[in-house]
Structure 1
Amino acid sequence: MKLTVQVKLLPTPAQTAALEATLLACNEAAAWASEVAFAEDVKRNFALRERTYTQVKERWGLGAQAAQHVIKKTCDAYATLKANLRAGNLGRPGSKRYRRATEKPIVFRPEGAQPYDDRMLSWQTAERTVSIWTVAGRMKDVVFTAAPEQLATLALYRKGESDLLYRDGMWFLNATCEVPEVAPNTEPVDFLGIDLGIVNIATTSDSEIMAGRELNRIRTRERTLRTKLQRKNTPSAGRRLKNRRRREARRAKDINHKIAKHVVAEAERTGRGIALEDLTGIRERVRLRKPQRVTHSSWAFAQLGQFIGYKARKAGVPVVYVDPAYTSRICAECGHSDKANRVSQAWFACRSCGFVDHADRNSSRNIRARAWELWRRGALSTAPAPPPRQRGGAGRERGITASGARCAGQAF
């Protein structure tokens, strides 16, 4: 299976200047190729290369491999845009959002990510350095650093392209690694049910609760501070906003990774599978009061499910998604279903048999039972592969990303 390992580069001032010039030239060339593709309606790799390859090399001084990657990046961005339009992610045909996505060529940010293959980038893992192509020539001995687990994965399994990325004043390389999969467990002894929520991020059928109190406090604090700084609207407030951006998302991602790792390890240790709720479309189905909308929109349930899924596949643990309907009002002991069973957010009390339990634990037990029933009927594991390596950098003036976010399948 493919995983993406992110390492941080520590370039010297001269190396930094060369990397900056390289990203600028590559993304200017990609923006020009995008205009040609849009104007002539040529968005396939070979056809666009025939029209733009020579100009990209000569005008921006790019090498042959870099020029080809620039053109391919442009075609990939249009392919992703087409898929989003087909899936309805940008509204219905004729809507304002749909028109804004289709009436102009895709624009690439000056600091967007640039792909590198092994001809343009060589790794010296033992020395923790890379040799990388730039418009100023080959830059050797560029130092990088990463966590010990990531370095081990990089040394053993790195294969394929890498992306050069600049974010928040730091340089990164995102390397693709081909990690061997563990043989899947086709005969789990049971399932570990996971109830996902906002107050409690995850509750297992083993009565383990991963509370979201700390994360919710952080989100409230960050949201309040952002509001104050935006109202102040001074240069110093703008600098503070820039410094704090993505901090909340990074914290939520870190917590989700830790929860996913713990859940998968517990299921692997006990020979069980993992049962998750299929919450697809919940944002469209649920109607909320205005004060609850921001909290609900910040709920990173899909990310947590994604992390659990690919870590489970890596460990050979089966994953089954079940219908979450009425799991919060059905008694896990007698099966009686009643809306009044859910006494409060935290407590469940069955009106039929008198069973009392934590509401989220009761739900997780129902999820476990549904998964076990599906598995006995022949359902297959739906543990997904980690998200494909996508290249950032393409977007519209309104901030719609045409080629996706990076590192959702980061190795931890």
Structure 2
Amino acid sequence: MSWQPDALTVSIWTVRGRSGRIPFACSPAQLDMLRRYRRGESDLVFRGGSWYLYATCEVPEPETFDPDGFLGVDLGIANIATTSDGVRYAGRQLNQVRHRNRRLRSRLQSKGTTSAKRLLGKLSGREARFAADSNHRIAKQIVTEAERTSRGVALEDLGGIRARVRLRKPQRVTLHSWAFHQLGRFVSYKAARARVPVVYVDPAYTSQGCSACGHISKKNRPDQATFACTSCGFAEHAGVNAARNIAVRGVAGWAVSHAADDAA
């Protein structure tokens, strides 16, 4: 196949010969990217009754700026993401959709009929698109806020998150069904395009440690949503407190990595 971006058309070779001058639509920003960075293969995909062309673009990664602090991001169950600024993303409404889909999936699996399996396939695709769309929105808002305030983004290192977290069965299902790694990837690539630096930190004890005095204790978490320090009395939403600890670790991690680069 070949692209004609100025004419907004493509020419595709098929088993019946070449089908030339097929019109396509995209945003101005996507068209500019096609013109400047398209490389390699393109995939023709039929989805939801429409045809899509996925083009590979190799965009050079710009140099990141020197951040004025970090925006910490805590990933969780009740809220998919909570920032150190106190912003909580994708809470009750998103979880209601996820739980409804889980109940429907369970009913379809128990039937085991051909039509039920077909519906399960459709549900799986719908859930994946829903998660990707939600993650795109969350990632965009996080990166936009970091860019606006000249900060970097500090994320949890998600290695072993499913093995590390101890939860009740309903919460384990919720944890396993969400694409946390995808959210992290979306934040990373959107940040790279915006020149926003990203660091990954060890999340150990960020939920039990006090962001005010540093005291660590399981007793600091009287319930899932609350943090109340048993040492200094500081109280905050648990996700916000954890995100602030992640932000502090982001600053330290950035300083260590760049001190090593300067020494080299």
User: Scaled by the length of structure 2, what TM-score is found?
Assistant: 0.89
Listed as ranges, the matches of 1:82-231 within 5 Å are 121-167=1-47, 169-185=49-65, 187-231=66-110
- Match in the other structure for 1:37: none
- Match in the other structure for 1:309: 188
Counterpart of 1:339 (choices 218, 227, 232) is: 218
**Unaligned 5+ runs, structure 2:** 260-264
Deviation for aligned residue 1:166: 3.8
1:174-212, Cα deviation, whole Å (9 max, x unpaired): 111132433311x21111111111211111111111133
- 1:364–1:136 distance in 2 versus 1, CA, 3 Å: same
* Mapped contact 2:140–2:187 kept (Cα < 8 A): yes
Deviation for aligned residue 1:243: 3.8
In 1, the alpha carbon distance for the partners of 2:87 and 2:166 equals 29
* Mapped contact 1:274–1:320 kept (Cα < 8 A): yes
- Partner amino acid, structure 2, of 1:311: K
* Mapped contact 1:331–1:355 kept (Cα < 8 A): yes
Deviation for aligned residue 1:165: 3.0
In 2, the alpha carbon distance for the partners of 1:248 and 1:203 equals 22
- 1:242–1:364 distance in 2 versus 1, CA, 3 Å: closer
* Mapped contact 2:78–2:92 kept (Cα < 8 A): yes
In 1, the alpha carbon distance for the partners of 2:229 and 2:123 equals 46
In 2, the alpha carbon distance for the partners of 1:238 and 1:266 equals 42
**Unaligned 5+ runs, structure 1:** 1-120, 381-412
- 1:237–1:279 distance in 2 versus 1, CA, 3 Å: closer
In 2, the alpha carbon distance for the partners of 1:137 and 1:260 equals 42
1:257 maps to 2:136: yes
In 1, the alpha carbon distance for the partners of 2:168 and 2:224 equals 16
Deviation for aligned residue 1:233: 4.8
Deviation for aligned residue 1:244: 3.3
In 1, the alpha carbon distance for the partners of 2:85 and 2:232 equals 22
In 2, the alpha carbon distance for the partners of 1:135 and 1:158 equals 25
Deviation for aligned residue 1:361: 0.6
* Mapped contact 1:198–1:299 kept (Cα < 8 A): no
* Mapped contact 2:11–2:19 kept (Cα < 8 A): yes
Deviation for aligned residue 1:159: 2.5
In 2, the alpha carbon distance for the partners of 1:290 and 1:338 equals 24
- 1:206–1:216 distance in 2 versus 1, CA, 3 Å: same
What number of residue pairs does the alignment pair up?
Answer: 259
* Mapped contact 2:228–2:235 kept (Cα < 8 A): yes
- Match in the other structure for 2:156: 277
Identity percentage over the alignment?
59
- Match in the other structure for 2:145: 266
Deviation for aligned residue 1:245: 3.4
Q: State the secondary structure of the residue aligned to 1:200.
A: coil
In 1, the alpha carbon distance for the partners of 2:170 and 2:241 equals 27
In 2, the alpha carbon distance for the partners of 1:177 and 1:213 equals 36
Deviation for aligned residue 1:236: 5.0
* Mapped contact 2:131–2:178 kept (Cα < 8 A): no
In 2, the alpha carbon distance for the partners of 1:304 and 1:233 equals 32
Listed as ranges, the matches of 1:12-91 within 5 Å are none
In 2, the alpha carbon distance for the partners of 1:127 and 1:245 equals 37
- Partner amino acid, structure 2, of 1:375: W
- Partner amino acid, structure 1, of 2:99: T
In 2, the alpha carbon distance for the partners of 1:236 and 1:306 equals 35
In 2, the alpha carbon distance for the partners of 1:212 and 1:265 equals 20
Bigger-Rg structure (1/2): 1
